[in-house]
Amino acid sequence: MWVSSLVSILPLVVFAFALPSKDCEHQVKEEVVSPQGWTIFGPAPSDHFINLRIALPQSNFDLLEQHLYEISDPYHERYGAHLTKEEVEDLVAPHPDSVVAVNEWLSSHGIQEEDISRSSAGDWITIKVPVWLVEKMLDTKYYVWKHSTSGEYIVRTTSYSLPKDILDHVELIQPTTMFGTFKRLKSTIHSISQTNSQVQSQNQPPVSDPVTGLTVDASCNTTITITCLQQIYNAVGYTPSAHVGNSVGISGYLGDFANKADLQSFFEDQVPAAAAVNATYNFVSVAGGLDSQDPADASDESDLDTQFAFGLSFPVKSTFFSTAGSPPFDPDVKTPTDTNEPYTDWLDFMLSHPNPPLTISTSYGDDEQTVPESFAIRACAEFAALGARGVSLVFSSGDGGVGDGDSNPTTQKCITNDGKNRTQFIPEFPASCPFVTAVGGTSLFPEQGVFFSGGGFSNYFPRPSYQDAAVQGFLNKLRKGTYSGLFNPNGRAIPDVATQSEFFRVFIGGVPFHVAGTSAASPTFAGFVTLLNDARLKKGLPPLGFLNPLLYSKAASGFNDITVGNNPGCGTEGFNATVGWDAVTGLGT
């Protein structure tokens, strides 16, 4: 193994010394303070290979954004006129000058075209290079860092530089300064517990909501099933079609395996029509993602997501995307490998896909502040590209209330990661991206905001215009000075909407469990978006695509306003659910 590694490095060594270097005048491109919770374990091994990802500036993103807002505005004449894959790629392709400049820089370090992998639009370059060469290219020093809580090791730097003549031709490079958990995205599942083998009949009268006029089974206040959701959200008796081009997808990461036998158990329990035909989903591997069907490997996250999203939307075409995760870096291995940020692999794959699902739910996220702002902005731009193609992207808003990823509000640290150690509410990313729909949580019936529902305001993204009226109304109701300095009142506000998120009856390893978290809310909302797309497609209308401009305007009257509940965190009671939009349940359910 050591010999093969040496052989693969030798050509790079020769080129690195044979070609003129462009290293003489470097300028810092990005720099971060030492991140909280991480300490230097030691220097990174010089022969450790890194999959270095280089983002070239997207030449016409402003025009793409204009297209996106026009085709997503229900009052605009272009509403629903989604762009093709080729049209989107033309808009995000890098300028030829950037391609030439970066190619010359790479070539000066012995990296040739055959060593380079390019994204479908050419705006991302990926190269696999050893640490010693990355350090030379970026005029930096990589270290092995250890996390004080998880014990996880990663290879990162806190600063990198580029030659001045290519500085403007590169938007960002990773993995460099990212110390978040995108290498190991955390699930936003809040709690899980084993439940009875069958839903118990309570011999209690149905429960009615005087506001909506809807009536649901009393059991729905202790166990959420497909039938409960259909009752609560007024979809009883609606049957979607498998033949109008509709589709729904779930994204899974880091060895979270969806189990098909569990799905069958779920269908037998809650969707007998699907069980009768042995319905299942399509599996798609992204960057080597696996599909273990061993019951011992069944994931609470992926089972929850697939069972409820696909159960609500049956018989619509359904797909589970398994993206290979990054194994924890082992500093004792002599020839270590580290695949880094699987999330970008998923984005690359979906943007290159000729026909991505029309609705995609993702129940993973990270504290916004642990993701470098440059990376968050670029990832958000790629969500916009998918939205322009007619894809509705739905994300959990998080389970920490107004606090960080710790779901226990009494132990949250809520300290800024900028070296100033200020107390601050911590929003969740990617939910904070204005081009996705963030889903918070409710509980019980009539519904109320659930305490763990992630909500707040982004520190990276300004509030989009589609939110102005609704969010300003909420801010006006806050008592003057309430939480002053703890949140950014001008930031993109989350969540956008909410759904049920407690007592979900999920089969895991053949056993029924109760699961809670906004991990349940996101696939639930995605399931209902899929039904709405079905209704449109049956009428010859285009799918909904990027949802938010519609939700905050023409569709606002379709939501049930939630006015009870709050989301504590950071030593506070958090925000309150109130009339109109709020930072607990958004526009409502």
Q: Which residues are annotated as a binding site?
A: 561-562, 580, 582
Strand spans (E) along 518-568: none
Binding site for Ca(2+), by residue number, is: 561-562, 580, 582
- Residues 192, 174 contacting (CB under 8 angstroms): no
Nearest to 564 by CA among 207, 225, 223, 209: 209
Sign of CA dihedral 539, 542, 547, 549: negative
- Residues 412, 569 contacting (CB under 8 angstroms): yes
Sign of CA dihedral 181, 186, 190, 193: negative
In this structure, how many other beta carbons lie within 10 angstroms of the beta carbon of residue 563? 18
The pair of structure tokens assigned to 478 is: 């806050």
d(CA 581, CA 455): 11
Question: Which spans in 353-454 are helix H?
Answer: 373-388
∠ CA(85), CA(86), CA(88), 5° rounding? 65
Residue 154's Cα: distance from chain center in Å?
21
d(CA 186, CA 254): 9
d(CA 173, CA 154): 16
The pair of structure tokens assigned to 464 is: 């989009």
Which active-site residues does the annotation give?
A: 301, 305, 519
Residue 552, helix vs strand vs coil: coil
Which letter does DSSP use for residue 513 in this model?
A: E
d(CA 52, CA 417): 24
- Residues 298, 342 contacting (CB under 8 angstroms): no
Q: What's the chain's length in residues?
A: 589
In this structure, how many other beta carbons lie within 10 angstroms of the beta carbon of residue 344? 24
DSSP H/E element including 99: helix 96-108
d(CA 441, CA 501): 5
Q: What is the CA radius of gyration of the chain?
A: 24
**CA dist list (Å): 241 to 278, 411, 520:** 17, 47, 24
d(CA 434, CA 442): 22
